[in-house]
Homo-oligomer: A and B are copies of this chain.
Amino acid sequence: MERFINLKGEDIPKQWYNVKADLPFELDPPLDPQTMKPIDPSKLEVLFPKALVMQEATKEREISIPPRVREAYALYRPTPLVRAIGLERALKTPAHIYYKNESVSPTGSHKLNTALAQAYYNLEEGTTKISTETGAGQWGSALAFAGAYFNLDVNVFMVKISFEQKPARKYMVNLFNGKIHPSPSDFTNYGKKVLEVTPNSTGSLGMAISEAIEYALSKEKTHYSLGSVLDHVLLHQTVIGQETKKQMELAGEEPDVLIGCFGGGSNFGGFTLPFMPLKLKKNSLEIVACEPTECPSFTKGEYKYDYGDTAHLTPMLKMYTLGSEFVPPPIYAGGLRYHGASPIISRLVKEGYMKAIAIPQEEAFEAARLFSVTEGIIPAPETSHAIAGVVRYAKACAESGERKVIVFNFSGHGLLDLNSYVK
């Protein structure tokens, strides 16, 4: 039994996988909030490069990964698939547990898979600056690295409570020459307005998105970049699931349960969507999103059209949502703070192809401690929700005696979040 299932450089996918080619239904389009009609793609081009707007809409099954992006991926890809022998032993479970280790990327999470792609397309179309928001900081530091790699200026608006709790993220963004502002900030009109009304606001992802969009719209040759939720972001992340499929074949096993943590849906979608053709053939395959009890978009939200941000600058998306004004309780320290959810994953949950469970913060932290000592990797607080889900399934197998194959996405490490675990 091999612990590390490694691929070769040539196994880095040459295409991103577009699940829309295989879905048995049509997705509801994004709406223009002024007309409530499907949005004209050209309206999105003030925010994103044309190539990404096209990727957002296309139904082509395979989208070629540009050679320079694949070359950048080769810095850290293929990432290992790891058999969680230590965790299995600790749980005395007959289940076989595997994790795809996306934490080996330069910034410690899967986020770089789309950051590099987005930076590349922006560079190609003449952009010189990108702005974005970040929650726990994984996305902001990934975009900063991608900016350093492709020579673009990066401005990051970071949810204020996380900015204060995680100074190391700031250092990392600065090391890659990026600029970072706690949000709400007095750097944008929207931020100023929020601060007038609630000077002690701890921020939310919706607010930070609003600031980053305002910044992009107000500067020359500046685009906005989103780290999750949108279809093109999930598309870029499918390198995760494609590699995992190949690695499971090498391991000689087929997954019974796929598990990921869920914030906006990018690690979850990137990991699970390439398995949708298998799911359509084999209905017993369970695909499980683990969201925080403190930000329960699926388990407590409503499936409807809603805004992606608090200032209502974005198109309306059909998704599970807690309402664009939602702010998680201050006690919640993790990065899974988004009020909504990827429209693709929302629909798949709605139709019953995937399911969602809510994990209380305390259970996630306990799982993280167990995983740290038994597997030797400290997970990001986000990732620990997936691990808690895995622990639930593996314990159920220990009780029933079932030898299920559980595979999860280890989306990021927690080395820059160690203080969260102490508090």
Q: Which A positions have Cβ atoms within 8 angstroms of B?
A: 2-4, 6, 8-9, 74-76, 85-86, 104-106, 108, 145, 148-149, 167-168, 171-172, 174-176, 369, 372-373, 375-378, 415-416, 418-419, 421-422
Contacts and interface: CB of A to CB of B under 8 A. Distances in A.
A2 B12 CA distance: 12
A235 to B, nearest CB: 22
Given A106-B377, A168-B419, A373-B149, A3 B176 contact: no
B9 A2 contact: yes
Nearest to A423: B171
B168 A168 contact: yes
Contacts of A372: 106, 175-176
Contact of A106 (B2, B74, B85, B376): B376
18 contacts: A2-B8, A3-B9, A3-B74, A3-B75, A75-B86, A75-B376, A104-B104, A105-B376, A106-B372, A106-B377, A108-B415, A145-B373, A145-B376, A167-B419, A168-B419, A175-B422, A176-B373, A416-B418
Contacts of A378: 106, 172, 175
A421 B376 contact: no
Contacts of A419: 167-168, 171
A369 B175 contact: yes
Q: Which 10 A-B pairs have the closest CB atoms?
A: A106-B376, A171-B418, A75-B376, A415-B415, A6-B6, A171-B422, A148-B373, A168-B418, A2-B9, A3-B9
A377 to B, nearest CB: 6
Copies per assembly: 2
B106 A168 contact: no
| Residue among A8, A74, A376 with the highest chain B CB neighbour number at 10 A | A376
Given A86-B75, A105-B376, A6 B4 contact: yes
A421 B175 contact: yes
A271 to B, nearest CB: 21
A2 B377 CA distance: 26
Nearest to A172: B418
B376 A418 contact: no
Contacts of A369: 175
Contacts of A373: 145, 148-149, 176
Nearest to A373: B148
B4 A168 contact: no
A418 B4 contact: no
B375 A75 contact: yes
Given A106-B378, A167-B419, A175-B421, 13 more contacts: A3-B74, A75-B86, A104-B104, A106-B376, A148-B373, A168-B168, A168-B415, A168-B418, A168-B419, A171-B422, A172-B418, A175-B378, A416-B418
Contact of A422 (B74, B106, B174, B377): B174
A416 B2 CA distance: 30
A418 B175 contact: yes
Contacts of A4: 6, 9
A171 B75 CA distance: 29
A59 B9 CA distance: 42
A108 B171 CA distance: 18
A167 B421 CA distance: 13
